[in-house]
Amino acid sequence: MAQKPTAKASILDAYERAVIENGERAATLEAVAADAGVSKGGLLYHFGSKNDLVAGLVERMDELAEADLGALRVAPEGIVRRFIRSSVDVDTTFDHTYIALTRLAQSGLHPEATDALTRVESGWRDLIATEVSDPAVARLVLLVSDGLYYNSALWPGVERGTGTDEVEGVINALDDLIRARSH
């Protein structure tokens, strides 16, 4: 049920891509259909409306989030390090969906998108709390991650000075803080 390399999946991919690259407004049925290699009518056979596309993305997000949390939970380097690192990595399946939903949420037209993101963030929050006892630091970790996502969501494709190596510095700084505060 989760693994169909069908037209449906590639339409969803195209929608995701369109939203990320050109914004929700530009992600018209026609544009998405063209990118997915079908016609408007063809698209509408699989997704009866634009809202259905959003719903499809939400569903995908929930599945990916579950997997993401699972991987995070068993990350050998620790939850926080892995978490922050993965926040820069904007080129995974997870990130694509997450960023697309971020855009949709901001459009104000899709409360379901906002809800899905809230669920994800809530999962992260709980997990981080298991590793970081100080609530202020835990909050700080989440804010840094949000900041990283915000950056990549806002300046798509633009290298904005938060490269992977620079993030290592940030991670180390957070580490110092966590150690200093854990007594």
Partner DNA sequence: GTCTATACATGGATAGAC
Partner DNA sequence: GTCTATCCATGTATAGAC
Binding residues vs its own copies (CB under 8 A): 21-26, 102-103, 105-109, 114, 117-118, 134-137, 139-140, 142-151, 153-156, 161-162, 166, 169-170, 172-174, 176-177, 180-181
Nearer to its own copies, 67 or 180 (CB): 180
Give the 3-state secondary structure of residue 166: helix
Question: Hey, what are 64's tokens?
Answer: 């990916």
Binding-residue total with DNA (CB under 7 A): 20
42 binds, among DNA, its own copies, none (CB under 5 to 8 A by kind): DNA
Nearer to its own copies, 5 or 169 (CB): 169
Listed residue (70, 170, 165) closest to 127, CA to CA: 70
Least distance between its own copies and beta carbon 131 (Å):
16
What distances in angstroms separate CA 150 from CA 24, 77, 82, 179, one per listed residue?
A: 16, 24, 18, 27
Query: Is the four-CA dihedral 126, 123, 153, 95 of positive or negative sign?
Result: positive
Nearer to its own copies, 71 or 173 (CB): 173
Does 45 interact with DNA (rule: CB under 7 A)? yes
Question: In three state form, how does the secondary structure of 78-105 look?
Answer: CHHHHHHHHHHCCCCHHHHHHHHHHHHH
Which residue carries 């290699």 as its tokens? 37
Q: How far apart are CA 172 and CA 43, in angstroms?
A: 47
Does 44 interact with DNA (rule: CB under 7 A)? yes
Using the rule CB under 7 A, give the single segment among 47-55, 75-83, 114-122, 123-131 that binds DNA: 47-55
Does 7 interact with DNA (rule: CB under 7 A)? yes
149 binds, among DNA, its own copies, none (CB under 5 to 8 A by kind): its own copies
Listed residue (90, 91, 103) closest to 57, CA to CA: 103
DSSP letter, residue 170: H
Applying CB under 7 A, the residues found at the interface with DNA are 7, 26-30, 33, 38-46, 48-51
